[in-house]
Structure 1
Amino acid sequence: MSDARSAGDAEGAAGADDSDLARRLGYVLKQAQSALRSRMDGALRPLGLTVPQYACLELLASGPLTNAELARGAFVTAQSMNSVVTSLQERGLVAREDVAPSGRRRPAELTESGRALLAEADGSVRRIEAQMIEAIAGRDADRLVDDLSAIAEHLPSADQG
């Protein structure tokens, strides 16, 4: 991140503290998401992973999934997920059939190398999550997760109106 961008971000955050924007739920959620994404980027980069690649590996840990299922779970487009899966496949972390067993669906699955890298990456991400929970020490982290999940379930997606 450039110094100019950092300074601009800091000014924007400082300016937000002077208004009610700093108390707006959407704004604060975006700040938290941005901080989490930045920390995850930094932790995953030495492992050669991006956040979407990590999300893909994490989702595949439960079993084979199609690109569409992975895209929904990782909050990216199907086209973006295709690139993610292809790059992971080229690294031998994910496997999928060259020819679809039926139709066009070619579910991807983790390889042993993918499982090993996921275990390492997951340790880094869990340490970041533990730091997030430290920030609310004495409060109920499970309740926060439940409340955020309720918010996400209550708001329809943009295409649902």
Structure 2
Amino acid sequence: MTEIPAEEYLCTRIRRTEQALMAHHEAVLRGYGLTMTQYTVLLTLSRENGMSGAQLARSCGVTQQTMASVLTGLQNKELIARETSPVHSKVLIASLTEHGRRVLDGAYQEVIVLERALAESFTPTERDALCELLERATTVLIQQTPDPGSRRDG
């Protein structure tokens, strides 16, 4: 077996990039009293207001239990309001408050600076190629992820 130096592993490079991105976002969002998940929820609600916890959990890639905790925190900060669904009395529908929209707008204005800086560091052709390569990598990563219900005990 030929050993590849760790710094040449694609997974290592992807992880390093994700860590740098998360560190940037967390530093910016900390100034607004937000976690990355809370910011993602606010951003999601700004685009499609009026979502259930289950819908938000799927959209943000977290469990329903985690989302329940996130929503409680956001509601306690008065960034979202939750009302009983007109369709199902046991389902609460979350929506942004005006305060939540103002906090999101401020955070977004800082987060978008990095997005613009990244976009400007590549030519349009390079950006398109990078997006295509990242999509391809994401597809492989998803395909290679074992189903939590399956075991490889042989």
- SS at the partner of 2:47? coil
Distance 2:108 2:71 in 1: 18
- SS at the partner of 1:159? coil
Between 1:145-154 and 1:122-131, the stretch displaced more is 145-154
Between 1:51-60 and 1:76-85, the stretch displaced more is 76-85
Distance 2:78 2:105 in 1: 15
| Equivalent position amino acid for 1:43 in 2 | V
- Provide the TM-score with structure 1 as the length reference: 0.76
Distance 1:123 1:130 in 2: 11
| Equivalent position amino acid for 1:54 in 2 | Y
Unaligned runs of 5+ in 1: 1-18
Distance 1:143 1:119 in 2: 30
Q: What is the correspondence of 1:117-136 to structure 2 with a 5 Å cutoff? A: 117-134=103-120, 136=121
Distance 1:25 1:100 in 2: 45
Between 1:46-55 and 1:65-74, the stretch displaced more is 65-74
- SS at the partner of 2:81? strand
Name the CA shift for 1:47/1:33 in 2 (closer, same or farther; >3 Å).
same
| Equivalent position amino acid for 1:68 in 2 | A
55, 62, 67: which one aligns with 2:47: 62
Count, aligned residues: 141
Identify the residue that residue 30 of structure 1 maps to in structure 2.
15
Q: Alpha-carbon deviation of 1:56?
A: 0.6
Distance 1:141 1:111 in 2: 35
Q: Alpha-carbon deviation of 1:153?
A: 3.7
Identify the residue that residue 148 of structure 1 maps to in structure 2.
134
More strand, by proportion: 2
Q: Alpha-carbon deviation of 1:84?
A: 0.9
Unaligned runs of 5+ in 2: none
Distance 2:102 2:132 in 1: 30
Distance 1:152 1:69 in 2: 22
Tell me the percent identity.
Answer: 32
| Equivalent position amino acid for 1:127 in 2 | V
Question: Once superposed, what is the RMSD of the aligned Cα atoms?
Answer: 2.2
Q: What is the correspondence of 1:79-158 to structure 2 with a 5 Å cutoff? A: 79-97=65-83, 99-101=84-86, 102=88, 104-134=90-120, 136-138=121-123, 140-154=126-140, 155-156=142-143, 158=146
Between 1:65-74 and 1:45-54, the stretch displaced more is 65-74
Q: Alpha-carbon deviation of 1:103?
A: 5.1
Between 1:145-154 and 1:76-85, the stretch displaced more is 145-154
Distance 2:110 2:64 in 1: 27
Over 4 Å off, 4+ runs: none
More helix, by proportion: 1
